[in-house]
Amino acid sequence: MTWKTELLAKGKLAKSASRELAITSTTLKNNALALMADALVEHAQEIIVGNQKDIENARIAGMKESLIDRLMLDEKRVVDMADGLRKVIELQDPVGEMLTGMKRPNGLEIAKIRVPFGVVGIVYESRPNVTVDAAGLCLKTGNAVILRGGSDAIESNKVIVGILQEAILKAGLPVGTVNLIEVTDREAVREMLQLNEFIDVIIPRGGSGLIQMVLKNSTVPVIETGIGVCHVYIDQEADLAMAEDITINAKTSRPGTCNTIETLLVHRDQATQILPSLLGKLQGLGVEIRGCGRTQSIFPKAIAAAEEDWGTEYLDFILSVCIVDSFEDAVEHITKYGTKHSEAIVTTNYARSERFLREIDAAAVFVNASTRFTDGGEFGFGAEIGISTQKLHARGPMGLPELTSYKYLIRGNGQIR
Amino acid sequence: MTWKTELLAKGKLAKSASRELAITSTTLKNNALALMADALVEHAQEIIVGNQKDIENARIAGMKESLIDRLMLDEKRVVDMADGLRKVIELQDPVGEMLTGMKRPNGLEIAKIRVPFGVVGIVYESRPNVTVDAAGLCLKTGNAVILRGGSDAIESNKVIVGILQEAILKAGLPVGTVNLIEVTDREAVREMLQLNEFIDVIIPRGGSGLIQMVLKNSTVPVIETGIGVCHVYIDQEADLAMAEDITINAKTSRPGTCNTIETLLVHRDQATQILPSLLGKLQGLGVEIRGCGRTQSIFPKAIAAAEEDWGTEYLDFILSVCIVDSFEDAVEHITKYGTKHSEAIVTTNYARSERFLREIDAAAVFVNASTRFTDGGEFGFGAEIGISTQKLHARGPMGLPELTSYKYLIRGNGQIR
């Protein structure tokens, strides 16, 4: 079939499945998740064989080893994916929760109830673990899902989705619960982003290019995720040992994640005291330092930072460092270059800690803690479908409730207006 | 200045104002609203003079009288607009509300706090009252607003926004709190819809054409509002007097509103008993009846409904009527042709009332009450910026809380991950 036919067919399947999923019990959904987890482990070898094809093609195409590592599945990783599904079983099902209720003077009883979105479209890169993760989170929240992973992972994804679908059927749920767009044509993604009739929400997961493409082309509502140009600001009054610990953690504990800092801001009164030791330690850990002029004069081993450095998400062992004259300048810098993801101040001053919390416009604003805590797991959500950097619907880490909408149920006895 | 310059300048003004508004006290915002209301009344004559120019131009352009009526302002309507602002003063300010909070095992204290969106863009038609309404609701929720009204109301809007801005300055708030795009070029709207750097959310208010244009062109997140192809379904077990009252109310009390029904569905076992009397009464009230074949055979004065009737939002004294064989067929019809706005069942059967509430996917689902109650005022919200028909962020009537986002404030004492 042509890709247009495939898209429409899968859109219809998903929409139809979503109507059934919306009224499926938690027990049945959990049962399906358990069968899905079992099936993945049982068919691990098939998955690895499919994955090998992707890896071979990627090597031929000259893919970087770091990306090949993200693509690669072995037995342990398959077991991890299955365990991820089992964890979702334990999470509370948000569907059906009564968010609020009211009885109006005319006797109408209005209940605001959590319901699934319907059909969620996930557009992502060549990471087969996202296939399983997204399928599990969507199923638990009563949503059908249409998956469109990177073309480099297509063989892995086909095998995985085939296995998941078999388990879903065995559980008595419709096969359209989990759908994979198999055509790798780029035009197909653009078409998917306009399937308003069948898709209720699109969530892109991946790098800046992918997210911009989705934002630009989608007429379906999008939840923007995950670009993080995050900062630590060391105030003129700060515990220097704490400032060192937080900065080193926020930069080096996992540089490829969006909640890692890219820029360190330091008040000028602290710079000479803290920078030589802190930047020396960071260099010792393999971090390249790109500094403003004043930083270079204090720490000559820093490379000169260019204007574009301040807005760059390195996702790597690189840190830009800027000395600022005041708290206000730090806030200005963050407002200008930040991506509204995660921002931290290290200070012992109460008034400025409160001002930072109020004035910084970001999903997560920290006082005296590492930005690395912006994470569904760390927030206690149990699971995370991504970190929203937009203000509509969800902001910051998105757990299960963020994969739902609501509706109003109104019970009357003949009221007219 | 060219319109691109105007757009960028106003975008910057709004963004800058939004930072100040986000931390402005409720008292100061309420004071500004009061001054705005006073100023409108005080300058009523200037507004009416500006409005007269719009009316003259509209007459020359041959605008329909019903649209001219929406455009027209007289002293009473100006006073009504001012009163609308005064009502907003009395509403609770949602900004700063703590939505939830948690202390994590590592000692981090996480608070989820309501914050303004930042800058809201409102794209609407030639209704000058929306200018005042939107400005008031956005100000109260700490948002700056960029208004782009229909070109036919440009003279009225210029005068109104000038008056509002003067009052805002007098209150000590930045002039960029309320901004009007004065250029009426259609290209300017498209450009506005891509101003992601300065606008956080776009809310279109108007007819289907306007909303589709916004959805298609906007890269800024959009809250879709207001298209309503709503239904009343009369079940095989129903109180017929109640069914009549609800149907007549849902169709005729204000046919131009989106929560009015366009289609009546009747179970075949009820049709001969209820339709002759009900449809006769509706015709007596001036409603044109367009029926399916079976409806016509019971009520010969009905015109034949065409396929496209079932999906049409008439916003007029027209009702399509379809006899269905079962509850399931009624649900199918609504699923196929409805716009997920407001749907009602009239029934005395408990099981089917509950199934209707569960299975119908709409913002507001009613049992034994008129769809006309889908309204911010009727829900007790005090004010309404529109009725969302999408599932992201807000669904159904949107009050003040729906004009806000949230952020996480995290207080620590040196936590690293």
Q: What is the mean pLDDT of residues A302-307?
A: 98
Checking if the pLDDT of B330 tops 80, the result is: yes
The DSSP code for A306 is P
Q: Are A203 and A121 in contact (CB under 8 A)?
A: yes
pLDDT tens-digit map of B15-31 = 999 999 999 999 999 99
Rounded to 5 degrees, what angle do the CA atoms B253, B256, B257 make? Answer: 80
Checking if the pLDDT of B150 tops 60, the result is: yes
Checking if the pLDDT of B207 tops 70, the result is: yes
Residues of A in contact with B377 (CB under 8 A): none
Instruction: Give the number of residues written for chain B.
Output: 417
Q: Do B200 and A391 touch (CB under 8 A)?
A: yes
Rounded distance, CA A145 to CA A147, Å?
6
ipTM: 0.94
Residue from B29, B139, B101, B137 nearest B406 by CA:
B101
pLDDT tier, A206 (very low <50, low <70, confident <90, very high otherwise): confident
Residue type, A187: E
Structure tokens at B30: 């309420």
Rounded distance, CA A345 to CA B149, Å?
42
Checking if the pLDDT of B208 tops 90, the result is: no
Please tell me if residue A222 touches chain B, with a CB cutoff of 8 Å. yes
Residue from B330, B333, B328, B398 nearest B363 by CA:
B398
pLDDT tens-digit map of A222-244 = 998 878 999 999 999 999 999 99
What's the pLDDT at A2? Answer: 78
Find the range with the poorest average confidence among A203-212, A393-402, B42-51.
A203-212
Bigger pLDDT: A226 or A346? A346
Checking if the pLDDT of A149 tops 80, the result is: yes
Bigger pLDDT: A187 or B142? B142
A 362-391 near B (Cβ less than 8 A): 362-370, 372-374, 378-380, 390-391
In what order do the strands lie in the sheet containing A230-234? A303-304, A288-291, A318-324, A261-267, A230-234, A342-346, A364-369, B404-415, B109-116, B98-103
- Per DSSP, chain B holds a count of helices (H) and strands (E) of 14, 16
Residue from B174, B192, B202 nearest B19 by CA:
B174
Residue from A390, A398, A402 nearest A341 by CA:
A390
Give the Å distances, CA to CA, from B130 to A339, B47, B206, B207.
32, 14, 10, 14
pLDDT tens-digit map of B53-101 = 999 999 999 998 888 998 999 999 999 999 999 999 999 999 999 999 9
Q: Give the residues across from A225 on adjacent strands.
A: A388
Structure tokens at B289: 């009846």
Please report, for chain B, the start and end positions of each structural domain, with discontinuous segments joined by +.
3-224+394-411, 230-377
CB atoms within 10 A of CB A380: 14
| A328 Cβ contact list (under 8 Å, min separation 6) | none
pLDDT tens-digit map of A111-129 = 999 999 999 999 999 999 9
Residues of B in contact with A201 (CB under 8 A): 391-392
Rounded distance, CA A209 to CA B134, Å?
35
CA of B124 to nearest chain A CA: how many angstroms apart?
19
| A17 Cβ contact list (under 8 Å, min separation 6) | A144, A173, A174, A175, A176, A177
pLDDT tier, A297 (very low <50, low <70, confident <90, very high otherwise): very high
pLDDT tier, A3 (very low <50, low <70, confident <90, very high otherwise): confident
Q: State whether the Cα torsion B209-B212-B216-B220 is positive or negative.
A: positive
User: What CATH number matches the domain at B3-224+394-411, 3.40.50.300, 3.90.226.30, 3.40.605.10, 3.40.50.2000?
Assistant: 3.40.605.10
Helix (H, G, I), strand (E, B), or coil: what is residue B172?
coil
Rounded distance, CA A92 to CA A94, Å?
6
Rounded distance, CA A247 to CA A346, Å?
9
Rounded distance, CA B97 to CA A181, Å?
42
Residue type, A349: N
- Strands (E) in A149-188, as ranges, are 178-180
Q: pTM here?
A: 0.93
What's the pLDDT at A66? Answer: 83
Mean pLDDT, chain A, as a whole number?
Answer: 96
Q: What is the mean pLDDT of residues A208-212?
A: 89
Residue from B161, B153, B132, B147 nearest B63 by CA:
B153
What's the pLDDT at B1? Answer: 56
Checking if the pLDDT of B2 tops 80, the result is: no
Q: Do B391 and A118 touch (CB under 8 A)?
A: yes
A108 → chain B, closest CA residue: B369
Checking if the pLDDT of A177 tops 70, the result is: yes
Find the range with the poorest average confidence among A282-291, A342-351, B204-213, B299-308.
B204-213
pLDDT tens-digit map of B380-412 = 998 889 999 999 999 999 999 999 999 999 999
CB atoms within 10 A of CB B254: 12
Q: Give the residues across from B120 on adjacent strands.
A: B145, B201
Candidate from B221, B365, B410 with C-beta closest to A390 = B221
* DSSP per position, A376-412: TTTTT-S--SEEE-SSSS--EEE-SGGGEEEEEEEEE
What's the pLDDT at A184? Answer: 81
Residue from A196, A170, A168, A197 nearest A180 by CA:
A168
Please tell me if residue A395 touches chain B, with a CB cutoff of 8 Å. yes
- A interface test, pick of B391, B395, B406 with most A CB neighbours within 10 Å: B391
- Match 């929406």 to its residue by tokens: B70
What's the pLDDT at B68? Answer: 92
pLDDT tier, A208 (very low <50, low <70, confident <90, very high otherwise): confident
Structure tokens at B317: 């004294």
pLDDT tens-digit map of B233-261 = 999 999 999 999 999 999 999 998 999 99
Please tell me if residue A54 touches chain B, with a CB cutoff of 8 Å. no
| A353 Cβ contact list (under 8 Å, min separation 6) | A345, A347, A367, A368, B411
What's the pLDDT at A182? Answer: 93
- Could you please state the CATH topology (level 3) that the domain comprising B230-377 is classified under: Aldehyde Dehydrogenase; Chain A, domain 2 (3.40.309)
What's the pLDDT at A1? Answer: 56
Q: What is the mean pLDDT of residues A309-324?
A: 96
Mean pLDDT, chain B, as a whole number?
Answer: 96
CA A27 distance to own-chain centroid: 27
Q: What is the mean pLDDT of residues A7-20?
A: 96
Residue from B252, B390, B387, B241 nearest B318 by CA:
B252
Q: Do B407 and A416 touch (CB under 8 A)?
A: no
What's the pLDDT at B249? Answer: 98
The secondary structure element, H or E, covering residue B52 is helix B44-60
